[in-house]
Each structure stands twice: as structure tokens, then as C-alpha cells.
Amino acid sequence: MTGGRISARIAAVSPSATLAVDAKAKALQAQGESVIGFGAGEPDFATPEHIVAAAEVACRDPRSHKYSPTAGLPELREALVAKTRRDSGLEVAPAQILVTNGGKQAIANSFAVLCDPGDEVLVLAPYWTTYPEVIALAGGVPVVITTDVASGFRATIDQLEAARTPRTKVLLFVSPSNPTGAVYPRHEIEAIGRWAVEQGLWVLTDEIYEHLVYGGAEHHSMPVLVPELAERCVVVNGVAKTYAMTGWRVGWMIGPTDVVTAATNLQSHETSNVANVSQRAALAAVSGDLAAAAAMRDAFDRRRLTIHAMLNEIEGITCLLPEGAFYAFPSVEGLLGHDIRGHRPTTSAELAELAIDEAKVAVVPGEAFGAPGYFRMSYALGDDDLVEGVSRLAKLFGDAA
Ligand SMILES: Cc1ncc(COP(=O)(O)O)c(C=O)c1O
């Protein structure tokens, strides 16, 4: 017999830290504890009624009961062409779109298609915890570029240039960002896109939070600002965040036809078509108006202002005002090394343990995002829970000596 029971490739994958926090919170809840969860990255709203109604009809349609084309229902791909034109101003053909099991599969497909062993992918930290894992699984090498509060969690061209080597193939870009809530302004997106074109790099741009921008922030799609990038650009998107549809598992990737064809081939052997009922629900979502999405965005905006103000009142915590998505990413450095109810946490991971154990508040420590010293707190939870949760943290950390 050779090797271990689990292949080295899969044994190297870390469990999702965000799901781990959620599991702990749910286990405590099951024991009757009142836990406030800032962990999960999903809207607390129900999927809008007209979308659910379309899925109900689809359930009864015998066509839904059979395999359908791997790349997606033709009607959905057509609707995604129109949606992409409407929301981003990007002109694409149906053959450039592959419908996937969530944005997650679109990202995994993209790296599987683009990376040969040893190809380097520039990843901006704090990063969404899935990115480095799927890059490594594809044989790529994540090269992490660190950003911090001082730069508003945005990378500069100088930083990108310093990290570039002859092996660099792809830049992974996300705005609005999970976990920081940062939104790149138009001129910075354009400059980064131009730099990528000049260096002959690919860009994977994750636009899943495109509709969740607040205040004066605006979302811009990189291949629209830099059309020359289109032949080496993959756009990832999905219905999960905009339409409160995390459980339906529908995303998509848009790219040059050779990349999309290769990804479709791969997906045809891995998962085939996305569940037809979910595709019909997604069709109703993307071909309908954005009224429900706007109402949810207004609620997130209100909570964003509340959590930002309340966190900054806690001594030892500093929090930038998030401009997009639904996460606050406060620095908790000022609390580390202090005595808190007989404990002396020295890392954000230890502090997060204390928060769940002592205050029954679940947050994800920055370690999960390549950014120790921070918490990620989703504000996609009810207004009252949000206030209660941050008040509990204020009380707990108020005891710091
Ligand atoms: C930045 C980012 N991209 C992509 C996704 C994928 O979402 P889904 O697979 O649910 O469509 C998420 C979900 O958390 C995310 O935060």
C-alpha cells in the first residue's frame, strides 16, 4: 500500500473556518443557549416570493425532471446576457456563459481551467477563505498580497508589481470585498485592469456583491472599464447575495469561449447541469426587477451604520466604514494581551473563542482570511440581534484590564 488513507492533495485542504464558527453557534443554540451569530455570510431574508413561485411551477414541469445541458438552460443563459448588459454594461454572447453550482463552483472551475502546476495567482488579503484553497487544489500557487486599514484594504499597483514574477498568471480581484467590505473606486479598477493587460495577466473578477454598495460607492466591472482585458478575463457572479438565494446554488462564469468551453467540459464530468428548479428560480430572479434587492440593500445599509458606530465605541476596537457587501472587519488588536474575565487572549482566534464562550456571540477571526488581528462580522442579521450582539461584546470587552 502506498500513501495515507486521504490523498495528500485533499488532506492539505483546511476546513472552512466560517462554517466551523457557524456550526459551533448552532450547536450551542441547540443546547438552548441564545447565541447571536455574526458568522454566516448570507442574507437573513427569505428569497423573494416571485422567485419561489417560479420554482414551484418548475417543480411540476416534467422538463425539469431530466438532465439538461451542462452549460445551463438556454433561457437562463440568454437572460444572463441581458442581465449583464443591464447591470454592468458588458456585452457577452450566451456561449461565453457557464451556469454553475454557486459562484463557488465558477471560481473552482476557473482556476482548474487556467492553472498549470506552479502557476502563481495574486490574491489580495484579507481574502475570502475559499480562494487560496481552490487555487491550490487546481495546482496553482496563491501569492498573498497584504492590505490593511491604512489603505482601506485596497491594493496598489506598486504592491501588485512587487508580487509579480515570471510565473504569475492570474490576478484574483474582488470588489465589493468579502471579508473587508472595501469597494475599489472606478479609477483604481481601471488602473489595475490596465496593469494586468500590460503584463499579459489574466484577471478573475468576483462580482457576487455587485448590488450591495452603499453611500457614494459604486460598482464597476473591470472588463467594461478596460475592454482590452476581455480576452483574458473571467467574471464570476451569482444569485446568492443579491436575491437572498444562498441555498439555491446558482452562479455563473463569463469568459472567453475557449475558457468557458473547457470549464463546461470539466463540469460535465463533475456535476453536470445545475438543478433545473434552481435554474428556473434564478431565471425569475435575474429577469425580474431589482426592487426586492434594493429593499434588502437598504436594510443592510442601516445595519452597516449601526454596527460601525457601535463597534467604534468599544475601547480597543477600530472599524472602517464598510462600503459594500455585508461585513464589518474591525481590528481587535487593541484588546489582545489584556485580561478579560481571567483570560488573556493574544490572538484574534483566541478572542473569538472568548466571545462565543463568554458572551455567546459568534464572529469569524481574521486568521481565516489571512488577516490575524481582526474579526469579520456579518451584518446580515436582524437589527435587534445586531444591537444585542454588539452590546454583549461591549460588555465583555469593557471588562478588559
Ligand atoms: C466573495 C465571494 N465570492 C463568491 C461567493 C460564492 O457564493 P455562492 O457559491 O453561494 O454563489 C461568496 C460566498 O460567500 C463570496 O463571499
- Residue listed under C-alpha cell 458572551: 359
Q: Establish whether residue 212 lines the binding site of ligand 1, counting it when its CB lies within 6 angstroms of any ligand atom.
A: no
126 ligand 1 Cβ < 6 A? no
Tell me, using a 6 A CB cutoff, whether residue 246 lines ligand 1. yes
How confident is the model at residue 370, as a pLDDT? 94
State the pLDDT at residue 1.
60
The closest-lying atom of ligand 1 relative to the alpha carbon of residue 246 is: 10
Q: What is the mean pLDDT of residues 132-141?
A: 96
pLDDT band for position 40 (cuts 50, 70, 90)? confident
| C-alpha distances out from residue 40 to 133, 180, 240, 242, 290, Å | 19, 14, 13, 15, 24
Q: Say yes or no: CB of residue 181 within 6 Å of ligand 1.
A: no
Spatial contact of 363 and 352, defined as CB atoms under 8 Å apart = yes
Task: Determine the atom of ligand 1 nearest the C-alpha atom of 41.
Answer: 14
**What average pLDDT does range 70-97 have in this prediction?**
98
Residue whose CB lies within 8 A of the most ligand 1 atoms, among 98, 134, 177, 178, for a mutation test: 178
Please say whether the beta carbons of 311 and 300 come within 8 A. no
pLDDT at 25: 84
Q: How far is ligand 1, taken at its centre, from the CA of residue 173, in Å?
A: 13
Q: Which residue's alpha carbon is nearest to atom 4 within ligand 1?
A: 103
Å from CA of 26 to ligand 1 middle? 21
Ligand 1 and 240: CB distance under 6 A: yes
102 alpha carbon to ligand 1 midpoint, in Å? 7
CA distance from start to end of the chain: 56
Q: What is the mean pLDDT of residues 363-374?
A: 95
* Mean pLDDT, residues 141-157 taken together: 96
Residues linked to residue 343 through DSSP beta bridges, in sequence order: 340
Task: Report whether residue 103 contacts ligand 1, using a CB cutoff of 6 Å.
Answer: yes
Ligand 1 centre and the CA of 387: distance in Å?
Answer: 26
The torsion angles phi and psi of 97, rounded to 5 degrees, stand at -120, 135
pLDDT-derived band at 3 (thresholds 50, 70, 90) equals confident
Does any ligand 1 atom lie closer than 6 A to the CB of residue 140? no
pLDDT score, position 209? 98
Residue 259 is which amino acid?
V
pLDDT digits (tens, 9 = 90+) for 158-169: 999 999 999 999
Among the ranges given (17-31, 82-96, 363-377), the one the predictor scored with the smallest mean pLDDT: 17-31
Cα(3) to ligand 1 centroid in Å equals: 34
Q: Which of 107, 109, 148 is nearest to 129 (CA)?
A: 107
Q: So what's the pLDDT on residue 41?
A: 85
Q: What separation in Å is there between the alpha carbon of 2 and the centre of ligand 1?
A: 37
pLDDT confidence of residue 21? 74
Tell whether ligand 1 has an atom less than 6 A from the beta carbon of residue 193.
no
Q: Using CA atoms, how far apart are residues 10 and 14, in angstroms rounded to an integer?
A: 9
Average pLDDT value for the chain: 95
Our answer on whether the CB atom of 127 is closer than 6 Å to any ligand 1 atom is no
Pocket mutation for ligand 1, best pick of 153, 208, 279 (most atoms within 8 Å of C-beta):
208
Residue 17 has pLDDT above 90, yes or no: no
Q: Could you tell me if residue 135 is left (phi over 0), alpha (psi between -120 and 50 degrees) or otherwise beta?
A: alpha
DSSP letter at 209 equals T
- Which candidate, 329, 93, 389, places its Cα nearest to that of 321? 329
DSSP sequence for 290-338: SHHHHHHHHHHHHHHHHHHHHHHTSTT-B-----BTTEE--B-GGGTTS
Tell me the mean pLDDT in the region 88-117: 98
- Per cent of the chain over pLDDT 90 is 91
Residue 337, pLDDT above cutoff 70: yes
Dig out the grid coordinates for 117 from the structure.
502546476
